[in-house]
Structure 1
Amino acid sequence: MAQFLFEIFCEEIPARMQARAEDDLKRLMSERLKEAGLDWDSLEAFSGPRRLGLVIEGLPHKTADVREERKGPRTDAPEKALEGFMRGAGIDSLDQCKIEEGKKGSFYIAVIEKPGRETAQVISDAVPEIIKSFPWPKSMKFGEGDKAQRWVRPLRSLICLLDGEVIDAEVFGIQSGKTTDGHRVHGAGSFEVSDFTDYEAKLRANGVILRRDERKQLVLDGARRVCEAVGLELMEDPGLLEEVTGLVEHPAPILGDMDPDFLDLPPEVIALTMKTHQKYFAVRDPKTGELTSKFVVLANQDAPDGGKAIAAGNARVLSARLSDARHFWDLDRKTGLEAMAPELSKVTFHEKLGTVADKVERVAKLARELAPVVGADADMAEKAARLAKADLVSQMVYEFPELQGAMGRYYALDAGLDPQIADAIKDHYKPQGPSDAVPTAPVSAAVALADKLDTLVGFWAIDEKPTGSKDPFALRRAALGVIRILLDTDARINLNSDIVQHIDSNLTDERSWIWGYDPQGEISDLDKGIIESPQTRVESSEALASDLLAFFADRLKVHLKDEGVKYDVIDAVFALGDDDLVRVTKKARALQAFMNSDDGQALLQGYRRAANILAAEEKKGFDLASARAEAVEGSDVDNDAALMIAIAKTAEANEERALIAAIEGADEVASVALSKEDFEGAMSALSQLREPVDAFFEAVVVNDKDDMVRRNRLLLLSRIRAAADQVADFSRLEG
C-alpha cells in the first residue's frame, strides 16, 4: 500500500477561501480515485496562505484486474447480431468467447478481461483536470499562451509523490516534482521532500506550521498569553480566529496599544474597526469587562525587537481608522435619530412592499397593538418602533452595517430618550439565530414581534415564501424569532386573528401594499376585485393568515424537535384550530410526555380501534349524527349527558358500564383541566380510560344483533373518540 502526497504551492490564497478549498480538493480527488476503482485508508487535506494539498495513506499501487462475462446471442444467430455482440463486448473474434449450453440452445459467452491501471497513471491524469476545474469563488488569469493560468493566485510549483516517486503531471506549464519552499523569512529556500513525514518536518524547520488546527491553537494560545501577561483578557472571536489562521504560516501574536482617547467611542465601533479593517483582536479588562486601549495583532514572523515596531506601526494605522469612525460618530450625533427617520422614505424595503418608512409605519401601529400583550407601554413601544430603523441611514451604519440597531441605541441615549426605547432599538432585530438572545424586556419584545410579523405577512402577501433550501429574506428565522419571543415572554396572542387584523389595517380604498400593487403600474383585475369587494378581501386575508399559521406550525416543529416533541404531536394539537403558540406548545409538551408512556400508547391503540370500527360502519351507511339525535330525542338535559344516559340503558356487560362511567369521569376532569390550561391534568384524566377501553374491546361485541344495542355501542365508541379529541386530534398521532 502506498502514500500519496500532493501540494499546490502558489502566492497567497485569500484566508476566507482556504477551508472550503480543502473540502473541494478532498472531494475532487476522491471522486477521481473512486471512478478508477481505488480505495484508501485515510485522506487528509491541508491549507495555508501559500499552499493547498493532501496526503492519502493506504492506496494500492494499481487498480484491480477486472474479469467480466457477457452473455451473447445463440450460436446460430444471424451474422449481424453476432457482429453487434462482438462490438459491444469489445472483442475481435468469436474465438475469444466460450460456448454455454442452455435450455434454448447454445450461447456465446464473451470473457472480457481488463488489466488494472497503475495508480500513478490514474493520479497523473487526474491532477491537471482537478487544478483546471477547481471551483474557486473567484479566480484570476496569469500569463499568456500555453502557460496561461486561471487560478486563485499564480502557481509556483507542484509536489506529486507516490511512495517517494514523482508522478509525472504538468499543469499550466508547471512540471510536478518533489520540491517546495518554506516561510518567506524563516525559511532557507527551496528543499526536496521524500514523503509526508519528511515534508511536514522540513516545513516546520523552515518556519511553516502546516496543519490549520495547530496554527489556530497557536494563534489563540499566543493571543491569550500576551493579554494575560499584562493582566488583561482577550475578546475571543471564532470568525476572526478562523480568518487570521489563514493569514499566517508562522503565528506570532503581538500586543499593541492604541491611543486611549479613542475609548470614548462606542466599544462596538472600536472592536468592529479592529476586526473588519485590521484583523485585530480587541482586549478587555477582566475586572470591569470594559474594552481597553490594547489590541492583539498577528504577525507572520518572529520579529527581532519582540514586535515593538510592528505594534507601533499597526497602532498608527488603527488610529487613522478610528479617526474616521469618530468623524462618523460626531456627524450622526449632531444629526440625531429624529432627523434621520424621514430619510427612510428614500430607502426601498422591497419594490412591492414600499420603502423602509412604509414598513416603519406599519410596525409602529402593530407594536402599539401588541404592547399590552407583552406588558409594554403602548406609547413607548410605538415611539421605539418609529425610531428602530432610523440608524440605517447613519454614517456609522453605512460604514459598518453590522452595527444596525446598536448605533441606534447609542444615538437614542445621546438624545436623552428613555433607556427602554434605546434598548428596543438595539434588540428588535433579535433573535438572529438559534444561539442569539431573545428580547424579553416588554418594549423590546413588542417592537421585535411587530417587526418580524410585519415582514412575514408582507412577504407572504406578495408570494415570496421560502422554497426548499432557499430563503433569501430569512423568513424562517423571522418565524422562529416570533416563536421564541412568545414562548420566552409567555405572551398570549391569537396569531390568526392578529395577522388578519394587520392585513386589513394596512388596506386602503384605492391601493394596498399587502396585495403587491405596483405604484408605477396599473391595478390588476384581481387586486381591483380585492380592493373593491370587502367579502373577497376578508376571504383573501383569512386564506393568507391560515397559510402563514401553517408555516409557524412547521417552524414550531423544528424548535421543539430537540426537546423530543415529534412532528405528529404538533400537528395533532394544531388540528384543533388553536393559534396561541404558547398554549399549543404547553399542550404539545404534555401530549408528548403522555404518548411516551404506556398509558398513552394503549389509549392511542384503543382510539384507533374505535375510530376504525366507526369508519367501517359509516361506509356501510351508519349515520353518526342521526343516531345521536335519535338517542337524545325528547331529553331535557345536556346532549352529552343525555347521550350517555341513553347508552347506559342498553349496557349489559360490566365492562360496558365501567367504560361509560370512566368516560363520564374523564371527560369532566379533562374539560376542567383544559379550561385551566392544566394539560398534564387533562392527560392524566385520559390515562384513566386505558383499562376500561381495553376491557371493553376484550369482552364486548360492538355489532350486536339488536339494532339499538349496536347503535348505542357505536355511539359509545364515538364518545371514546370525542374524549380524546378534546385534547388533540388523535387521528394524526403516529404512535
Structure 2
Amino acid sequence: MADFLLELRCEEIPARMQPKAKEDLARLFADALAKAGLTAGSVETFATPRRLALIAKDLPLATAAVSEETKGPKVGAPPQALEGFLRKVGLTAEQLTERDGVYFAVVEKPGRETAAVLAETIPAIIRAFPWPKSMRWGAASLSTESLRWVRPLSGIIALLDGAVVPCEIDGIASGRTTMGHRFHHSGPVDIANAGAYIETLRAAHVIVHFSERCKLIRDGAAKAAAVAGLTLVEDEGLVIENAGLTEWPNVGLGIFDEAFLDVPPEVIQLTARVNQKYFVCQGPDGKLFNAFICTANIVPRDMGIVIEGNHKVLAARLSDARFFWEQDQKTSLEDHAKKLARITFHEKLGTVADKVERVAKLARWLVEERIVIPANAGTQNGTEQQDALGSRVRGNDKEIAALADMAEQAARLCKADLVTEMVGEFPELQGLMGGYYAAKEGLPQEVAEAIRDHYKPVGQGDDVPTAPVTVAVSLADKLDTMFSFFSVELYPTGSKDPFALRRAMLGIIATVLKSDLRVPFTKIARTHYALPDGPLAWFLDFLDERLKVQQREAGVRHDLIDAVFALGGEDDLVRLLARVHALQTFVTTEDGTNLLAGYKRAANILKKEDWRGIEGEISQTGEEDPLAMVDDPDLAPVIAAKMAERHAAAEHLTYTPEPAEQALIDALDAAAPQAAAAVEAERFADAMAALASLRAPIDRFFEEVTVNADEANKRAARLALLARFRDAVHRVADFSRIEG
C-alpha cells in the first residue's frame, strides 16, 4: 500500500470557492480511481489561498487484472453484423467465445501500476475541474484549447510513496517542490512524501488545514475581545471567509471613532464585515462598542501599525456609511416611495409602486376583517402584548380603524428604502433601514416596526412577526407576491424558483401558525386577485406541499396532511392542522388502526364492485367519492339530498338485516351525525371518538355478513351500507390517503 500527495499551486483562490473546491477535488479523484479499479483507504483535502491539495492513503501499488466481456450478435447472424462486431472489438472470429447461441468478445486486461494511472488522472482532473469562474493566461490564452484554472496554475506536486509521479499539463511538470508563506518564508520548499506535507509547510508558515485556521481565528478574536473587556459578536461566516484569505492568521483589536456609533449598529457591522472582513464587539451593556477585530496574514513586528492602517481604511468606509445615513434622512420616506414608480417589479406585474398599492389595500383589509388579530388572544398561548391588544380591539371598531390606518401607512412606505443610498450600498439592509428612517421621522412605533420587519421571517430560525400591524404588512406583501406570480402562471418548478416563492410560502405558513391566524386564502385569491380556478388549484397544492415540508420537522406525517387536504375546500391552516393532529393521535391508537383497516377493506370492495351508487349521478370529477372530492358550493345541497336519499333507502330495507348488519346501521345512525357535528364545531378529537365507535361494528360486519350476497337486493343494500360507512369517515378525513 502507498500514500499519494497531490498539490495544485496557483495564485490566490477566492475564499468563497475553497470549501467547494475541496469537495470537488475529492469527488473527481475518487471517481477517477473507481474507473481504474482502485480504492483509497482514506482521502483528505486541503485548501489555502495559494494551493489546493489532497492526500490519499493506502492505495494499492497496481490495479488488478480484469476480464472485459462484450456481447455480440447471435450465432447465424448476417455476416455484416459479425464483421462490424469484430472491427469494434479488434478480434478475429476464432477469438470469440460462443455461449447460449451468442458470440462474446472476452479480453483479458492486465493490471496497471498505480503510478501510471495517476499520471493520466492528474491532467484529466485539472482540465475537468468545475470552478464557478476560471481564466486563461499567458500567450497560450489566445487559444480556446488552452488550460483554464481559477487563477494561473504555477506548480504541481505529485508524490506516490515519496516518488514523483511524472505528468505534465500546459508546460507545467509535476515535481516535489512548493512555496511557503509569501512573506514569512523565502525560496522553494521540497516535500519528502505525503506524510511530511502538513508539518513541512507549517515550518514554512503555512497552515494547510482549513479547520485549524478557522479555530485560530475564532479563538483569537474571542480572546482579543475578552482582554479588552468586550464580547465578540460571533460570525461563523466571517471566520470561514478570513480562513480562506490567510495561510498564517493573526488577529488584533482596534478602536474606531465613537462618533460613528450614531449610525445604526447593523450598518456599522455590515460595513466592517462586507468591506473589510472585520469582526465587531459589544460592550458590557450589550450594545455595539467602537471596536473592531481584524485578521492579518502575517505576524508583524508591530501589530499596532497594522491595526492603525486597518483603522484608517475602516474610518473611510464608516464615513461613507454615515454620509448615506444623513443624506437619506433629508428626504422623507413618502418622497422616496414616489420613486418606486420607476422600478419594474416584473414586466407582467407592473412596477414596485403597483405592488405597494396592492399590498396597502390587502394589509388594511386583513386588519379590518380582524384576520391578523391572533385567534389565541386572551389565552395562555398568546404573548402578554397580544392578549392585551386582542382583548381591547376584538370588538372595538375605533381601535381596529386605527390599526388599519397604520397597516396601510406602513405598507405604502415598506419598500421606500429600496431607493435610498444606504440600501443601494447594502441591499441586505432593506426593510431595516426603512424602519430606522420611519422612527427618525417620528412615525408611530407600530409603523416603523412593520416597515422594519415586514420581510420576516426570511429563513428558518428567523423571528416571526406577531404584532398585528407588522403581521398585516408581512402577510400582505408575501400573499401579493404569491398570488401575483400565480395569476400570470409563473410557478416554481422542481429545479427553479427565481422569485423565491417557496420562501414566501414558508414565511406565510410560519406567520399564520405562530399566532393561530384564520387566513381565508381562497377568498383573498378570488376577491382581491380574481385568481382563476387553475392557478388557485396550483396555489392550494403548493400550500399543501410547503405545509408538509414545514410540518415534517414537527413530526407530523405528510400522508395525514394529504388526508385532510383531500377533503377539498379547506384553506384554514389552523383548522386543518388541528384536524391533522387529532387524526395523528387517533390513527396511532388500536381503534384507529383497526378502523383504518376496516375502511380500506370497505373501500376495496366498493372499488372492486365499481360501486358508485348515488355518487355516479352527481360526481363532477370522475372520482369515487364526491363528498371528498367535489369542491363546488353549488353542489353541496345536491350531495346532501342524494345522501339523504341513500340513507333513507338503507333504512327501508326489503329484507330483515342480519344482527351484525343492523348493528352497523345503528352505529352509523349514532356516529355519523356526532362526527359531522364535532367537525363543524372544530372539536376534532370528539369527531375521532365518534368514529372510534364504528370500529367494533365494522369488524363484526365483515366477520358475519356476506356483502356480495346472491340476492340482488341484499347485495345492493350492503354495498350502500359500506358506502355510507365510507362517507361518514370521509367527513373527518380521506382515509384512502393514509399509509398503513
TM-score (norm: length of structure 2): 0.87
Which letter maps to 1:125? Answer: E
| Larger deviation, residues 380-389 vs 83-92 | 83-92
**Native 8 Å contact 2:13 2:151 kept in 1:** yes
Matched, 1:600 2:592: yes
Distance in 1 between the 2:430 and 2:225 partners? 30
Matched, 1:249 2:208: no
CA apart distance, 1:733: 2.5
| 1:559-574 alignment runs, 5 A limit | 559-574=550-565
**Native 8 Å contact 1:440 1:488 kept in 2:** yes
Distance in 2 between the 1:665 and 1:302 partners? 84
Residues 83 and 203 of structure 1: CA distance in aligned 2, closer, same or farther (over 3 Å): same
Matched, 1:655 2:669: no
Distance in 2 between the 1:92 and 1:164 partners? 44
Distance in 2 between the 1:651 and 1:663 partners? 18
Q: What is the match of residue 262 of structure 2? A: 264
CA apart distance, 1:295: 1.0
- Secondary structure at 1:7 match in 2: strand
Matched, 1:304 2:296: no
- Secondary structure at 2:148 match in 1: strand
Q: 2:315 aligns with which of 314, 319, 324?
A: 319
Matched, 1:556 2:547: yes
Matched, 1:666 2:660: no
Distance in 1 between the 2:616 and 2:127 partners? 74
Distance in 2 between the 1:648 and 1:563 partners? 48
Q: What is the match of residue 729 of structure 2? A: 724
- Secondary structure at 1:727 match in 2: coil
Cα displacement string for residues 555-578 of structure 1 (whole angstroms, at most 9, x for unaligned residues)? 111111223333332222122221
Matched, 1:227 2:222: no
**Native 8 Å contact 2:647 2:724 kept in 1:** no
| Larger deviation, residues 289-298 vs 667-676 | 667-676
Which letter maps to 1:569? Answer: L
Q: What is the match of residue 115 of structure 2? A: 120
| 1:39-188 alignment runs, 5 A limit | 39-68=39-68, 84=84, 86-91=86-91, 94=94, 96=95, 111-145=106-140, 150-188=148-186
| Larger deviation, residues 268-277 vs 367-376 | 367-376
Residues 641 and 175 of structure 1: CA distance in aligned 2, closer, same or farther (over 3 Å): closer
Q: What is the match of residue 464 of structure 1? A: 490
Distance in 2 between the 1:120 and 1:624 partners? 74
Residues 83 and 721 of structure 1: CA distance in aligned 2, closer, same or farther (over 3 Å): closer
Q: 1:415 aligns with which of 441, 444, 447?
A: 441
Distance in 2 between the 1:6 and 1:312 partners? 40
**Native 8 Å contact 2:159 2:194 kept in 1:** no
Distance in 1 between the 2:653 and 2:211 partners? 75
Q: 1:703 aligns with which of 700, 704, 708?
A: 708
Distance in 2 between the 1:183 and 1:408 partners? 46
Cα displacement string for residues 393-444 of structure 1 (whole angstroms, at most 9, x for unaligned residues)? 1111011100000000000000001111111101111111122221111111
Distance in 1 between the 2:615 and 2:655 partners? 18
Q: What is the match of residue 529 of structure 1? A: none
Distance in 2 between the 1:207 and 1:324 partners? 37
Distance in 2 between the 1:441 and 1:698 partners? 57
Cα displacement string for residues 611-658 of structure 1 (whole angstroms, at most 9, x for unaligned residues)? 233344455x8557899xxxxxxxx9x948973982689554332333
| Larger deviation, residues 174-183 vs 704-713 | 704-713
| Larger deviation, residues 178-187 vs 213-222 | 178-187
**Native 8 Å contact 2:7 2:53 kept in 1:** yes
- Secondary structure at 1:335 match in 2: coil
**Native 8 Å contact 2:252 2:294 kept in 1:** yes
Cα displacement string for residues 488-507 of structure 1 (whole angstroms, at most 9, x for unaligned residues)? 11111221111111114xxx
Matched, 1:583 2:580: no
Q: Please, what is the CA RMSD of the aligned residues?
A: 2.7
Q: What is the match of residue 518 of structure 2? A: 492
**Native 8 Å contact 2:650 2:717 kept in 1:** no
- Secondary structure at 2:155 match in 1: strand
Which letter maps to 2:286? Answer: G
CA apart distance, 1:50: 0.7
Q: What is the match of residue 33 of structure 1? A: 33
Q: 1:693 aligns with which of 693, 698, 706?
A: 698
Distance in 2 between the 1:87 and 1:341 partners? 75
Which letter maps to 1:29? Answer: F
Q: What is the match of residue 382 of structure 2? A: none
Distance in 2 between the 1:410 and 1:69 partners? 73
Which letter maps to 2:590? Answer: D
Name the % identity: 50
- Secondary structure at 1:141 match in 2: coil
Distance in 2 between the 1:427 and 1:360 partners? 16
Residues 89 and 719 of structure 1: CA distance in aligned 2, closer, same or farther (over 3 Å): same
Residues 72 and 150 of structure 1: CA distance in aligned 2, closer, same or farther (over 3 Å): closer
- Secondary structure at 1:9 match in 2: strand
CA apart distance, 1:213: 1.1
- Secondary structure at 1:490 match in 2: coil
**Native 8 Å contact 1:496 1:546 kept in 2:** no
CA apart distance, 1:361: 0.3
- Secondary structure at 1:718 match in 2: helix
Matched, 1:676 2:681: yes
Matched, 1:451 2:491: no
Distance in 2 between the 1:76 and 1:16 partners? 62
Distance in 1 between the 2:516 and 2:507 partners? 14
- Secondary structure at 2:216 match in 1: helix
Q: What is the match of residue 521 of structure 1? A: none
Cα displacement string for residues 299-336 of structure 1 (whole angstroms, at most 9, x for unaligned residues)? 1122222x211111111111111111111111111112
Q: 2:363 aligns with which of 356, 360, 367?
A: 367
CA apart distance, 1:69: 5.8
Which letter maps to 1:431? Answer: P
| Larger deviation, residues 414-423 vs 142-151 | 142-151
| Larger deviation, residues 49-58 vs 33-42 | 33-42
Residues 688 and 343 of structure 1: CA distance in aligned 2, closer, same or farther (over 3 Å): same
Residues 246 and 710 of structure 1: CA distance in aligned 2, closer, same or farther (over 3 Å): same
Residues 490 and 361 of structure 1: CA distance in aligned 2, closer, same or farther (over 3 Å): same
Cα displacement string for residues 93-112 of structure 1 (whole angstroms, at most 9, x for unaligned residues)? 83x567x7x897xx987552
**Native 8 Å contact 1:143 1:149 kept in 2:** no
- In structure 2, stretches of 5+ residues that fail to align are 374-399, 619-640
Residues 450 and 347 of structure 1: CA distance in aligned 2, closer, same or farther (over 3 Å): same
Residues 91 and 702 of structure 1: CA distance in aligned 2, closer, same or farther (over 3 Å): closer
Residues 415 and 708 of structure 1: CA distance in aligned 2, closer, same or farther (over 3 Å): same
Distance in 2 between the 1:87 and 1:325 partners? 73
| Larger deviation, residues 324-333 vs 564-573 | 564-573
- Secondary structure at 1:140 match in 2: coil
Cα displacement string for residues 243-264 of structure 1 (whole angstroms, at most 9, x for unaligned residues)? 1110111121111111111011
CA apart distance, 1:475: 0.6
Residues 648 and 118 of structure 1: CA distance in aligned 2, closer, same or farther (over 3 Å): same
CA apart distance, 1:185: 2.8
| Larger deviation, residues 257-266 vs 57-66 | 57-66
Q: What is the match of residue 612 of structure 1? A: 604
Which letter maps to 2:498? Answer: P
Q: What is the match of residue 280 of structure 1? A: 278
Cα displacement string for residues 147-182 of structure 1 (whole angstroms, at most 9, x for unaligned residues)? 975322222211001111101111221211011121
Distance in 1 between the 2:720 and 2:78 partners? 75
CA apart distance, 1:544: 2.6
